[in-house]
Amino acid sequence: MSTEAPVIGVLALQGDVREHLVALAAADAVARPIRRPEELAEVDGLVIPGGESTTISKLAVLFGVMEPLRARVRAGMPVYGTCAGMIMLADKILDPRSGQVTVGGIDMIVRRNAFGRQNESFEAAVDVRGVAGDPVEGVFIRAPWVESVGAETEVLAEHDGHIVAVRQGNALATSFHPELTGDHRVHRLFVDMVHANRATES
């Protein structure tokens, strides 16, 4: 396995990009913001941040990032989505806004804003499979949950009976925002996925 730090992009069309860049750097990756198709071609993995999923989806289509992104995810590039990023990685949204499309990559159906509006946003401890030690501090902000998953999708965490973290192959998604906590274990898990993928490709 290559020990050289992997280059991981953060889709920087809108959202909490900076926090992901900091978390990835703390997890020993070379992190950079990505807004254009040609920038996407240069990364070993990609994070789709939290933000407004309708806005990110529109801008991705408008600026020609959506199709190259789909192609790379289909080809097996490791990708991690938080909150809006989780919605972007869903093969299906339960109640999409008109014209809202996703990158896909995880066989699941997500419900947007499933935990409610901002007044219902909350913090809770979450046990995440594959993350050793104490539970992760889950920060849920107008968060989605996963209604159902396909046979190939592994459920990594649940909260209150709802699926809030999943993985299918090289695609990882959480309803909550580890990037807001200063605990970089989930990002480290993703960086390890990128390392492992590079090892199989080389």
Partner 1 sequence: MSSSLSENQAPETGTARVKRGMAEQLKGGVIMDVVTPEQAKIAEDAGAVAVMALERVPADIRKDGGVARMSDPDMIEGIIEAVSIPVMAKSRIGHFVEAQVLQSLGVDYIDESEVLTPADEVNHSDKWAFTTPFVCGATNLGEALRRIAEGAAMIRSKGEAGTGNVVEAVRHLRQIKGEIAKLRGCDNNELYAAAKELRAPYELVKEVAELGKLPVVLFSAGGVATPADAALMRQLGAEGVFVGSGIFKSGDPAKRAAAIVKATTFYDDPKIIADASRNLGEAMVGINCDTLPETERYANRGW
Q: What is the binding site for partner 1 (CB under 8 A)?
A: 12-19, 35, 50-52, 54-55, 58-59, 62-63, 83-84, 97-99, 112-113, 117-125, 127, 134-135, 137, 139-142, 159-160, 177, 180-181
The Cβ of residue 182 has, within 10 Å, a number of other Cβ atoms equal to 11
- In the block, tokens 């989605």 appear at 144
In the complex with partner 1, the residue whose CB is nearer, 24 or 194, is: 24
Least Å from the CB of residue 129 to partner 1: 15
Least Å from the CB of residue 59 to partner 1: 6
Q: Among residues 20, 159, 177, 187, which one is catalytic?
A: 177
Give the Cα separation of 21 and 163 in Å (integer). Answer: 26
Least Å from the CB of residue 123 to partner 1: 5
Task: For residue 179, indicate whether it is catalytic.
Answer: yes
> How far are the Cα atoms of 13, 113, 176 from residue 157, in angstroms, in the given order?
28, 18, 11
The Cβ of residue 93 has, within 10 Å, a number of other Cβ atoms equal to 21
Task: For residue 83, indicate whether it is catalytic.
Answer: yes
In the complex with partner 1, the residue whose CB is nearer, 170 or 175, is: 175
In the complex with partner 1, the residue whose CB is nearer, 167 or 177, is: 177
In the complex with partner 1, the residue whose CB is nearer, 56 or 171, is: 56
Least Å from the CB of residue 41 to partner 1: 18
Least Å from the CB of residue 69 to partner 1: 16
Nearest CA-CA partner of 74 in 82, 66, 64: 66
Q: Among residues 20, 159, 179, 187, which one is catalytic?
A: 179
Task: For residue 38, indicate whether it is catalytic.
Answer: no
Q: Among residues 19, 20, 83, 184, which one is catalytic?
A: 83
- Pairing between β-strand 145-149 and β-strand 106-111 as defined by DSSP bridges: antiparallel
In the complex with partner 1, the residue whose CB is nearer, 140 or 190, is: 140
The residues carrying an active-site annotation are 83, 177, 179
